[in-house]
Amino acid sequence: MTMIDTTSYTLISEAIKTEAKRILTDGTVTAVVGYAAARRKGSVQPIVITTPEDADKLLFSKGAVNNLAVYLTKAKKEIPKTGRIGIVVKGCDLKALVGLMGESQLKRENLYLIGIPCSGVLGSIIQPDTELTEDTIAPKCLECDVHMPTGCDFIPQGAPITPELEKKYAAEIARLEALTPAERWSYWKEQFSKCIKCYACRQVCPFCFCEQCLCDRNKPQMVESTPRPAGNFAWHVIRAMHLAGRCAGCAECERVCPMDIPLNLLNRKMAKELKELYDHEAGLEINEKGPLSMFNEKDDQSFIK
């Protein structure tokens, strides 16, 4: 079993503390969104600090799974209104921020980005004190191409250690693509039938920032709201379509799903389609227009028959 070395996270944590203290003291930012230790040993929780004294609470560890982008748009909507905000970001989280900038939800100049040279985080934090290995690491980290985030205001010293490991999503997508449409249909039908419509996936997703989700509307009712098969299917298809070309794969939806529906697998499949059809990858640059809100004569039109 391959172990992944995360000793550099201690030094990174120290650097975050120093930098957060500095930017809060000199007034660069009014608040910093980051990670702090939680109650159980090794577990980590998001935190918003507003005073230099609190900077000592910040840290980064293999348990820092959360995508903090959601605290800028939905979970703590009042924070960005206070002024420029510092935020601790892994490469995957940064992609979400870049996407949100393209959708007019955030402005780069209002953020102070503290990028993390990240070797990976845990897939599950049910047992936060486990070692980071090829089995416990989050599947998204196996396909990560942004261990070292770029374009940040501050990046602590440290080189991410990234052993070559099997790409689980790619393998699973290949497996599903080899199935017949009927088999694929029944696979997803089974997966979606588990859904209890708790909407945790919606709650945690930085891109589900609508104040009134169309799936909650009742005049007219677009999607059946009870957790029955037809409504479940509609919800997940709408979710996948709305995220196509936007989701960069922080995989928070999949992590929080209490029913273990492979939501990021669906998102990755959509991303693959976008890459093949339009050579588009979400989160790499601030795009004014994504490929799905634009028509180009060179676009693939083979689907029109």
Partner 1 sequence: MSRIGVFVCHCGENISRTVDVERVARAAEKISGVAYACDYKYMCSDPGQNLLKKAVSEHNLDGIVVAACSPRMHEKTFRKAADAAGLNPYLVEMANIREHCSWVHEDKEEATAKATEIVTMLVERVKMNRKLQPITVPVTKRALIIGGGIAGIQAALDIADCGHQVVLVERDPSIGGHMAQLSETFPTLDCSQCIMTPKMVDAANHPNITLHTYSEVENVEGYIGNFQVTIRKKARSVDMDKCTGCGVCMAKCPQKKIPNAFDKNLGMRSAIYVPFPQAVPNTPVIDRENCTWFKSGKCGVCQKVCGPGAVDFTQEDQLIVESIGAIVVATGFELYSINEKPKGSAIKGYGEFGHGKIPDVIDGMTFERLASASGPTGGKIVRPSDGKEPKQIVFVQCVGSRAREKGISYCSKICCMYTAKHTMLYHHKVHDGQAYVFFMDARTPGKGYDEFWRRSIEEEQAVYIRGAVSRLYEKGDKIVVMGSDISLGIQVEIEADMVVLATAVQPRTGAELLAQKLGISYDGYNFYSEAHAKLRPVECATAGVYLAGACQGPKDIPDTVSQASAAAAKVMTLFSKDKLEREPIVAKVREAGCVACFYCKKVCPYGAVEEKEIRDRQGNLIKVVAYVNPGVCGGCGTCQATCPSKSVELDGYTDEQIIAQIEAL
∠ at Cα 225 (221, 226), nearest 5°? 140
Min dist CB 231 to partner 1, Å, is 15
Min dist CB 107 to partner 1, Å, is 12
Tokens describing residue 3 = 């172990």
Tokens describing residue 171 = 């393998």
Min dist CB 38 to partner 1, Å, is 31
Residue 107 or 184: the one with the smaller Cβ distance to partner 1 is 107
Residue 7 or 104: the one with the smaller Cβ distance to partner 1 is 104
Pairing state between β 44-49 and 85-89? unpaired
Report the candidate in 87, 37, 26 with the shortest Cα–Cα distance to residue 59.
37
Residue 210 or 230: the one with the smaller Cβ distance to partner 1 is 210
Cα(129)–Cα(175) distance, integer angstroms: 33
Residue 4 or 244: the one with the smaller Cβ distance to partner 1 is 244
Name the residues that contact partner 1, by CB under 8 A.
103-105, 209-214, 217, 219-220, 222, 242, 288-289, 293-294
Residue 16 or 98: the one with the smaller Cβ distance to partner 1 is 98
Min dist CB 235 to partner 1, Å, is 14
Min dist CB 53 to partner 1, Å, is 30
Q: Supply the DSSP symbol for 162.
A: -
Cα(13)–Cα(298) distance, integer angstroms: 48
Cα(247)–Cα(297) distance, integer angstroms: 25
- The SS3 of residue 195 is coil
Helix (H) or strand (E) holding 183: helix 181-193
Min dist CB 211 to partner 1, Å, is 6
Q: Supply the DSSP symbol for 110.
A: G
Residue 38 or 222: the one with the smaller Cβ distance to partner 1 is 222
Residue type, 33: V
Min dist CB 124 to partner 1, Å, is 30
Cα(143)–Cα(146) distance, integer angstroms: 9
Burial of 255 from C-beta contacts in 10 A (0-12 / 13-18 / 19+): buried
Residue 67 or 287: the one with the smaller Cβ distance to partner 1 is 287
Burial 207-218 (b: 16+ CB within 10 A, else e): bbbeeebebeee
∠ at Cα 196 (195, 201), nearest 5°? 70
Pairing state between β 31-37 and 85-89? parallel
Min dist CB 58 to partner 1, Å, is 30
